[in-house]
Amino acid sequence: MTAGRIGLLALLVLISCVSQQETPLIRTADYSAYLDTSRWTTATDIQEEIEFWSSRLRPDSSGLGELAPLASAYARLYDFQSDYDHLLASEALLQKAVSVAAIDKKAYVRALSRTLIKQHRFSDALSVFTTEYAGTPLEVEDHFLLFDCYLEIGKSEQARTHLQEVEDRSQMGYLIRLAKLLDSEGDLPAAIRQLEEARRIALSRNQQELIEWTTSNLADFYVHAGRLEEAYALYLEVIRSRPDHFHSWQGLAWLAYSVEKDVDQAIRILDTLVSVNESPEYVLRQLDMARYVGDSDQVSGLKNKFLMISGEDQQGGLYRIPHAYEILEQNLDRTEDLLELETKQRQTDETIVLLATIRSGQGQREEALELMEKIAVQSAEPITLYHMAKLYKDAGNREEVFMLRQLLKDASVELGPNRVRQLESH
């Protein structure tokens, strides 16, 4: 081969490499057709379910056959409209079902506990079930429920015990929970393997809702693992199957923002979501993006909007922690009140760091540092480590800040460019 051809080949390889690097991960053409909200019909379908079951619910009967499906429909509608009253309606219907059920009462108690979990009333959910069935033989679904409660309130050993009682690798419910447990312990590769297996089972059985759930949550795991192209492909797969799968749209918007720094593309997706579902979660994402681009007017407007729609009266305790952080500098006492409400439901790394942040704001830095020593940093969530880094920076502890920054090097996509920039300034 001549020197000229070698040089040309090297140039072509270089051009190819550069082209590959410059190829965007998110392509508008891949998803634009599905961003048409006229194709988003799931909420309408659920509302029709509600009308159907409501019409069958007669005041002169117990209505037990209608209460459970009606409660389920209200709980699912929350995912598409973020109206907290729908969760309260689901709870009230299930409370009635529990009160009148003579047969299969435990199934209604479990359903009530799950509705409370959805409201982030984790300790209440645990109490509802254990008050009725403490010391009685437990079924598989009972162990699953107790696992879910214990994991959420930060008692991973109790959660593990209940999962071990029902070990069955052919059972999707088991694999999904094992994945959650492993992820909470910081073993993301093992968690991914479990969820991949659960997804394979869902696909083999053609269980559409479970296919969507496992696929979109596996995409989340892939994002955390840096497997971004695979994550993008899975989000698209779900959206093409169900155009109004909001969880996948949110994932797509975050990739556009966090990986490509394409705020316009991310905001376009989020604006569309907010136009049909004004979830505080989407507004919080918009706020983070406004902070990143430095749009002070948008920051002010979006912060006020988030605080207005995410309070206790609007969303119960669902957004208590992010709400607390947003008001922390202006109202430390109210922040502490919110934390007290949250710790009645769960005490986790997240609540410990918020308490440390409050103590630091009150000038009690020694107590703040002592609180952070309780956290196992190797398995903590990136957002928890981020807040810890801010506290250590305020305390002048450069060594701890450096250590946390090293731990967070691979979590830049999960944190997003706004937090990464703040972290680098520490």
In the chain, the percentage of residues whose pLDDT exceeds 90 is 89
Residue-level pLDDT at 22: 64
Mean pLDDT for the stretch of residues 340-351: 96
Same domain, 152 and 45: yes
Same domain, 142 and 218: no
Same domain, 70 and 52: yes
Number of domains forming the structure of the chain: 2
Phi, psi (degrees; rounded to nearest 5) at 137: -60, 140
Average pLDDT value for the chain: 93
CA contacts within 13 A on the Cβ side of 155: 16
Mean pLDDT for the stretch of residues 346-359: 97
Residue 308 pLDDT greater than 50, yes or no: yes
Query: Which CATH number belongs to the domain containing residue 186 in this structure?
Result: 1.25.40.10
Establish if 383 belongs to a structural domain: no
Same domain, 60 and 152: yes
Residue-level pLDDT at 248: 99
Question: Distances from the Cα of 10 to the Cαs of 13, 18, 89, 169, 373, in angstroms?
Answer: 5, 12, 66, 50, 53
Residue-level pLDDT at 376: 86
Specify the range with the lowest mean pLDDT, choosing from 56-60, 163-167, 295-299, 388-392: 56-60
Residue 2 pLDDT greater than 80, yes or no: no
Burial class (CB in 10 A: 0-12, 13-18, 19+), 151: buried
Residue range(s) defining the domain that contains residue 84 = 40-166
Q: Of 115, 144, 166, which marks where a domain is finished?
A: 166
Residue 21 pLDDT greater than 70, yes or no: no
Residue-level pLDDT at 380: 87
> How would you classify residue 316: left for phi > 0, otherwise alpha for psi between -120 and 50, otherwise beta?
left
Report whether 58 contacts 78 (CB < 8 A): no
Question: Distances from the Cα of 262 to the Cαs of 6, 10, 20, 270, 272, in angstroms?
Answer: 38, 32, 18, 13, 16
Establish if 287 belongs to a structural domain: no
Mean pLDDT for the stretch of residues 387-409: 94
Same domain, 78 and 152: yes
140 band by pLDDT with thresholds 50, 70 and 90? very high
Query: Which CATH number belongs to the domain containing residue 140 in this structure?
Result: 1.25.40
Mean pLDDT for the stretch of residues 291-297: 98
pLDDT tens, residue by residue, 406-426: 999 999 999 999 999 999 886
Structure tokens at 413: 């996509």
Same domain, 141 and 203: no
Number of Cβ within a 10 Å radius of residue 224? 18
Mean pLDDT for the stretch of residues 278-305: 98
Establish if 294 belongs to a structural domain: no
Number of Cβ within a 10 Å radius of residue 370? 12
Question: How far apart are alpha carbons 387 and 409 in whole angstroms?
Answer: 15
Same domain, 228 and 150: no
Question: Distances from the Cα of 422 to the Cαs of 16, 185, 199, 234, 417, in angstroms?
Answer: 34, 26, 37, 30, 9
Same domain, 193 and 139: no
Same domain, 186 and 153: no
Establish if 382 belongs to a structural domain: no
Residue 390 pLDDT greater than 90, yes or no: yes
Question: How far apart are alpha carbons 283 and 226 in whole angstroms?
Answer: 25
- State the greatest distance between any 2 C-alpha atoms of the chain, in Å, as a whole number: 94
Mean pLDDT for the stretch of residues 58-82: 90
Establish if 265 belongs to a structural domain: no
Same domain, 97 and 121: yes
Specify the range with the lowest mean pLDDT, choosing from 59-63, 122-126, 375-379, 387-391: 59-63
Mean pLDDT for the stretch of residues 345-372: 96
Same domain, 99 and 186: no
Same domain, 52 and 145: yes
61 band by pLDDT with thresholds 50, 70 and 90? low
Q: Of 166, 189, 219, which marks where a domain is finished?
A: 166
